[in-house]
């Protein structure tokens, strides 16, 4: 289970990073904070 949790955690970090980067191009959208 530990590996699954780490994997999901990394996926979430990647999604948040991408979302924040895209929102940087669109300041009108609210930032996603994790």
Residue 19 and residue 34 in contact, taking contact as beta carbons nearer than 8 Å? no
pLDDT over threshold 90, residue 6: yes
Report percent pLDDT > 70 for the chain: 71
0.75 surpassed by pTM: no
Q: What's the pLDDT at 15?
A: 92
Which ranges of the chain would DSSP assign to H, the alpha helix? 2-25
Q: Name the pLDDT band for 10 (thresholds 50, 70, 90).
A: very high
């Amino acid at each position: 289970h530990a590996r699954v949790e780490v994997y999901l955690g990394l996926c979430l970090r990647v999604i948040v990073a991408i979302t924040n980067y895209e929102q940087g191009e669109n300041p009108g959208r609210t930032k996603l904070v994790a």
